[in-house]
A and B are shown apart, each in its own frame.
Chain A
Amino acid sequence: MSGFAIDPCAKCEEVMQPYLDGALSDAEIAEAHAHLELCRYCAKRYRFEVELRHFVRQAAVEEMPPELKHRLAQLRTPLL
Protein backbone atom coordinates (compact mmCIF):
# COMPACT_ATOMS: atom_id res chain seq x y z
CA MET A 1 0.00 0.00 0.00
CA SER A 2 2.97 2.27 0.49
CA GLY A 3 3.21 5.19 -1.90
CA PHE A 4 6.95 5.07 -1.35
CA ALA A 5 7.13 2.16 -3.76
CA ILE A 6 5.31 4.07 -6.51
CA ASP A 7 6.36 7.73 -6.31
CA PRO A 8 8.68 8.10 -3.33
CA CYS A 9 9.21 11.89 -3.50
CA ALA A 10 5.49 12.62 -3.82
CA LYS A 11 4.82 10.29 -0.91
CA CYS A 12 7.58 11.90 1.12
CA GLU A 13 6.13 15.34 0.46
CA GLU A 14 2.71 14.09 1.54
CA VAL A 15 3.91 12.71 4.87
CA MET A 16 6.40 15.49 5.64
CA GLN A 17 4.19 17.41 8.10
CA PRO A 18 2.91 14.39 10.04
CA TYR A 19 6.51 13.09 10.01
CA LEU A 20 7.70 16.33 11.61
CA ASP A 21 4.77 16.24 14.02
CA GLY A 22 5.69 12.75 15.13
CA ALA A 23 2.25 11.60 14.03
CA LEU A 24 3.25 8.68 11.81
CA SER A 25 3.31 5.00 12.69
CA ASP A 26 6.68 3.36 13.28
CA ALA A 27 6.50 1.65 9.88
CA GLU A 28 5.77 4.94 8.11
CA ILE A 29 8.54 6.71 10.00
CA ALA A 30 10.98 4.01 8.90
CA GLU A 31 9.93 4.40 5.27
CA ALA A 32 10.17 8.18 5.32
CA HIS A 33 13.49 7.99 7.10
CA ALA A 34 14.88 5.50 4.58
CA HIS A 35 13.82 7.72 1.71
CA LEU A 36 15.33 10.85 3.30
CA GLU A 37 18.63 9.02 3.68
CA LEU A 38 18.74 8.36 -0.04
CA CYS A 39 17.11 11.35 -1.64
CA ARG A 40 18.95 14.67 -1.59
CA TYR A 41 16.01 16.49 -3.13
CA CYS A 42 13.68 15.53 -0.28
CA ALA A 43 16.38 15.76 2.39
CA LYS A 44 16.97 19.41 1.48
CA ARG A 45 13.27 20.14 1.71
CA TYR A 46 13.05 18.27 4.96
CA ARG A 47 15.83 20.40 6.47
CA PHE A 48 14.12 23.51 5.15
CA GLU A 49 10.86 22.51 6.87
CA VAL A 50 12.71 22.07 10.15
CA GLU A 51 14.36 25.49 9.73
CA LEU A 52 11.07 27.07 8.71
CA ARG A 53 9.23 25.84 11.79
CA HIS A 54 12.00 27.14 13.96
CA PHE A 55 12.03 30.46 12.14
CA VAL A 56 8.25 30.93 12.35
CA ARG A 57 8.28 30.18 16.06
CA GLN A 58 11.12 32.64 16.70
CA ALA A 59 9.69 35.34 14.47
CA ALA A 60 6.30 35.13 16.13
CA VAL A 61 7.62 35.74 19.62
CA GLU A 62 6.54 39.08 20.92
CA GLU A 63 7.27 39.71 24.56
CA MET A 64 4.41 40.65 26.81
CA PRO A 65 4.45 44.34 27.71
CA PRO A 66 5.54 44.71 31.36
CA GLU A 67 2.59 47.02 32.14
CA LEU A 68 0.23 44.25 31.12
CA LYS A 69 1.85 41.87 33.55
CA HIS A 70 1.36 44.45 36.25
CA ARG A 71 -2.29 44.91 35.31
CA LEU A 72 -2.89 41.16 35.38
CA ALA A 73 -1.39 40.96 38.86
CA GLN A 74 -3.80 43.66 39.98
CA LEU A 75 -6.72 41.45 39.00
CA ARG A 76 -5.82 39.06 41.82
CA THR A 77 -8.21 38.57 44.68
CA PRO A 78 -7.19 40.96 47.47
CA LEU A 79 -5.95 39.25 50.60
CA LEU A 80 -8.06 40.03 53.65
Chain B
Amino acid sequence: MSETSQETEARRLAAEARDRVRFEEDALALSDQVYRVARHLVGSREEAEDLMQETYARAFRSWRSFRPGTNLRAWLLRILTNLNIDRGRKIQRTPESQPLEEGDYFLYNKLEESVGDSSPDEERVVERLSQDSVVSALSAVPHDFRDVLVLVDIGDFSYADAAQILDIPIGTVMSRLHRGRRILKTQLADEAVGAK
Protein backbone atom coordinates (compact mmCIF):
# COMPACT_ATOMS: atom_id res chain seq x y z
CA MET B 1 0.00 0.00 0.00
CA SER B 2 2.66 2.48 1.03
CA GLU B 3 4.74 1.32 -1.91
CA THR B 4 1.88 2.24 -4.23
CA SER B 5 1.63 5.76 -2.80
CA GLN B 6 5.39 6.09 -3.14
CA GLU B 7 5.06 5.13 -6.75
CA THR B 8 2.27 7.62 -7.22
CA GLU B 9 4.43 10.30 -5.67
CA ALA B 10 7.37 9.37 -7.88
CA ARG B 11 5.17 9.54 -10.94
CA ARG B 12 3.85 12.92 -9.86
CA LEU B 13 7.37 14.24 -9.39
CA ALA B 14 8.49 12.92 -12.74
CA ALA B 15 5.51 14.54 -14.45
CA GLU B 16 6.24 17.82 -12.71
CA ALA B 17 9.88 17.69 -13.75
CA ARG B 18 8.79 17.10 -17.34
CA ASP B 19 6.42 20.07 -17.20
CA ARG B 20 9.12 22.24 -15.74
CA VAL B 21 11.70 21.28 -18.36
CA ARG B 22 9.18 21.96 -21.04
CA PHE B 23 8.28 25.33 -19.55
CA GLU B 24 11.94 26.33 -19.34
CA GLU B 25 12.57 25.31 -22.91
CA ASP B 26 9.54 27.23 -24.14
CA ALA B 27 10.58 30.31 -22.19
CA LEU B 28 14.14 30.17 -23.51
CA ALA B 29 12.90 29.74 -27.07
CA LEU B 30 11.13 33.09 -26.68
CA SER B 31 14.15 34.90 -25.25
CA ASP B 32 15.11 36.58 -28.55
CA GLN B 33 11.66 38.05 -28.88
CA VAL B 34 11.55 39.11 -25.25
CA TYR B 35 14.96 40.75 -25.57
CA ARG B 36 13.85 42.69 -28.63
CA VAL B 37 11.25 44.42 -26.49
CA ALA B 38 13.37 44.63 -23.35
CA ARG B 39 16.17 46.37 -25.21
CA HIS B 40 13.98 49.40 -25.87
CA LEU B 41 12.22 49.51 -22.53
CA VAL B 42 15.52 50.50 -20.93
CA GLY B 43 18.23 52.90 -21.98
CA SER B 44 21.18 50.59 -22.55
CA ARG B 45 22.15 47.12 -23.59
CA GLU B 46 23.69 46.42 -20.17
CA GLU B 47 20.43 47.29 -18.43
CA ALA B 48 18.51 45.13 -20.87
CA GLU B 49 20.81 42.19 -20.14
CA ASP B 50 20.43 42.57 -16.37
CA LEU B 51 16.69 42.82 -16.72
CA MET B 52 16.56 39.70 -18.87
CA GLN B 53 18.51 37.71 -16.30
CA GLU B 54 16.32 38.87 -13.43
CA THR B 55 13.23 38.10 -15.48
CA TYR B 56 14.30 34.58 -16.38
CA ALA B 57 15.49 33.83 -12.84
CA ARG B 58 12.08 34.84 -11.55
CA ALA B 59 10.19 33.06 -14.31
CA PHE B 60 12.02 29.79 -13.61
CA ARG B 61 11.29 30.14 -9.90
CA SER B 62 7.59 30.84 -10.34
CA TRP B 63 6.87 28.69 -13.37
CA ARG B 64 3.95 27.02 -11.57
CA SER B 65 1.96 30.25 -11.72
CA PHE B 66 2.00 30.18 -15.53
CA ARG B 67 -1.20 28.72 -16.93
CA PRO B 68 -0.32 26.46 -19.85
CA GLY B 69 -2.13 27.41 -23.01
CA THR B 70 -2.01 31.15 -22.25
CA ASN B 71 0.42 33.60 -23.84
CA LEU B 72 3.87 32.82 -22.45
CA ARG B 73 5.57 35.77 -24.16
CA ALA B 74 3.07 38.15 -22.54
CA TRP B 75 3.57 36.41 -19.19
CA LEU B 76 7.35 36.87 -19.41
CA LEU B 77 6.98 40.50 -20.40
CA ARG B 78 4.66 41.13 -17.52
CA ILE B 79 7.39 39.93 -15.15
CA LEU B 80 9.93 42.01 -17.02
CA THR B 81 7.96 45.26 -17.02
CA ASN B 82 7.16 44.84 -13.31
CA LEU B 83 10.82 44.29 -12.50
CA ASN B 84 11.73 47.29 -14.61
CA ILE B 85 9.32 49.49 -12.70
CA ASP B 86 10.53 48.03 -9.38
CA ARG B 87 14.08 48.92 -10.30
CA GLY B 88 12.96 52.47 -9.72
CA ARG B 89 13.63 53.75 -13.16
CA LYS B 90 14.14 57.45 -13.20
CA ILE B 91 11.04 59.54 -13.40
CA GLN B 92 11.07 61.27 -16.72
CA ARG B 93 8.95 64.28 -17.25
CA THR B 94 6.78 64.37 -20.30
CA PRO B 95 8.17 67.09 -22.49
CA GLU B 96 5.21 69.39 -22.07
CA SER B 97 7.06 72.21 -23.75
CA GLN B 98 6.92 70.33 -27.03
CA PRO B 99 3.77 71.09 -28.90
CA LEU B 100 2.08 67.79 -29.60
CA GLU B 101 -0.92 69.24 -31.31
CA GLU B 102 0.61 68.46 -34.66
CA GLY B 103 -1.39 65.91 -36.46
CA ASP B 104 -0.25 62.59 -37.78
CA TYR B 105 0.96 64.00 -41.07
CA PHE B 106 3.48 66.22 -39.29
CA LEU B 107 6.53 63.99 -39.79
CA TYR B 108 5.76 63.31 -43.44
CA ASN B 109 5.29 66.99 -44.14
CA LYS B 110 8.57 67.89 -42.44
CA LEU B 111 10.51 65.20 -44.28
CA GLU B 112 8.91 65.95 -47.62
CA GLU B 113 9.91 69.59 -47.24
CA SER B 114 13.48 68.51 -46.59
CA VAL B 115 13.69 66.30 -49.69
CA GLY B 116 13.41 69.44 -51.77
CA ASP B 117 11.29 67.82 -54.44
CA SER B 118 7.73 68.93 -54.84
CA SER B 119 6.24 65.48 -54.79
CA PRO B 120 8.74 62.77 -53.84
CA ASP B 121 7.92 59.08 -53.47
CA GLU B 122 7.19 57.86 -49.97
CA GLU B 123 10.28 55.64 -50.10
CA ARG B 124 12.50 58.65 -50.65
CA VAL B 125 10.85 60.38 -47.74
CA VAL B 126 11.44 57.41 -45.40
CA GLU B 127 15.06 57.34 -46.56
CA ARG B 128 15.58 60.61 -44.74
CA LEU B 129 15.51 58.60 -41.52
CA SER B 130 18.42 56.55 -40.25
CA GLN B 131 18.42 53.45 -38.08
CA ASP B 132 20.33 55.29 -35.36
CA SER B 133 17.79 58.07 -35.33
CA VAL B 134 15.05 55.54 -34.61
CA VAL B 135 16.97 54.03 -31.70
CA SER B 136 17.73 57.39 -30.15
CA ALA B 137 14.25 58.78 -30.81
CA LEU B 138 12.76 55.75 -29.05
CA SER B 139 14.96 56.25 -26.03
CA ALA B 140 13.82 59.87 -25.82
CA VAL B 141 10.16 58.89 -25.41
CA PRO B 142 9.17 59.11 -21.71
CA HIS B 143 8.77 55.72 -20.01
CA ASP B 144 5.02 55.46 -19.62
CA PHE B 145 4.51 56.14 -23.30
CA ARG B 146 7.50 54.14 -24.40
CA ASP B 147 6.36 50.98 -22.57
CA VAL B 148 3.17 50.91 -24.59
CA LEU B 149 4.82 52.00 -27.83
CA VAL B 150 7.49 49.31 -27.62
CA LEU B 151 5.05 46.54 -26.67
CA VAL B 152 2.63 47.34 -29.49
CA ASP B 153 4.80 48.68 -32.30
CA ILE B 154 7.93 46.59 -31.76
CA GLY B 155 6.66 43.63 -29.76
CA ASP B 156 3.52 43.25 -31.87
CA PHE B 157 1.26 42.90 -28.85
CA SER B 158 -2.42 43.74 -29.14
CA TYR B 159 -3.92 46.61 -27.14
CA ALA B 160 -5.48 44.00 -24.85
CA ASP B 161 -2.18 42.18 -24.25
CA ALA B 162 -0.36 45.45 -23.56
CA ALA B 163 -3.11 46.42 -21.09
CA GLN B 164 -2.68 43.12 -19.28
CA ILE B 165 1.10 43.23 -19.26
CA LEU B 166 1.21 46.76 -17.86
CA ASP B 167 -1.90 46.33 -15.72
CA ILE B 168 -3.58 49.44 -17.09
CA PRO B 169 -6.96 49.92 -18.79
CA ILE B 170 -7.17 49.47 -22.53
CA GLY B 171 -8.21 53.12 -22.95
CA THR B 172 -4.95 54.14 -21.28
CA VAL B 173 -3.01 51.90 -23.67
CA MET B 174 -4.65 53.66 -26.59
CA SER B 175 -4.09 57.18 -25.32
CA ARG B 176 -0.46 56.47 -24.35
CA LEU B 177 0.19 54.79 -27.66
CA HIS B 178 -1.26 57.76 -29.49
CA ARG B 179 0.85 60.21 -27.55
CA GLY B 180 3.93 58.00 -27.66
CA ARG B 181 3.78 57.81 -31.43
CA ARG B 182 3.43 61.56 -31.68
CA ILE B 183 6.42 62.09 -29.42
CA LEU B 184 8.42 59.57 -31.44
CA LYS B 185 7.56 61.41 -34.64
CA THR B 186 8.52 64.75 -33.15
CA GLN B 187 11.85 63.25 -32.11
CA LEU B 188 12.40 61.72 -35.54
CA ALA B 189 11.62 65.00 -37.27
CA ASP B 190 14.04 66.66 -34.93
CA GLU B 191 16.80 64.17 -35.66
CA ALA B 192 16.24 64.16 -39.40
CA VAL B 193 15.74 67.80 -40.18
CA GLY B 194 16.16 69.73 -36.95
CA ALA B 195 12.48 70.52 -36.66
CA LYS B 196 12.84 72.77 -33.65
Interface residues of A (CB under 8 A from B): 10, 13-14, 16-17, 21, 23, 44-45, 47-49, 51-53, 55-65, 68-69, 71-73, 75-77, 79-80
Q: How far is the CA of A68 from the CA of B54 in the complex (A)?
A: 12
Q: What class of interface size applies to chain B in its complex with A?
A: 35 or more
Q: Among A13, A16, A51, A60, which residue has its beta carbon within 8 angstroms of that of B40? A: A60
Name the prevailing secondary structure of the A interface residues.
Answer: helix
A26 to B20, CA, bound (A): 44
**Footprint of A on B, CB under 8 Å?**
17, 20-21, 24, 28, 31-32, 35-36, 39-40, 45, 49, 52-53, 56-57, 60, 103-105, 107-108, 122-123, 125-126, 129-131, 134-135, 138, 150, 153-154, 159, 174, 177-178, 181, 184
Contact in complex: B134, A60 (CB < 8 Å): yes
- The interface residues of chain B lying within 8 Å CB-to-CB of A49 are 104, 108
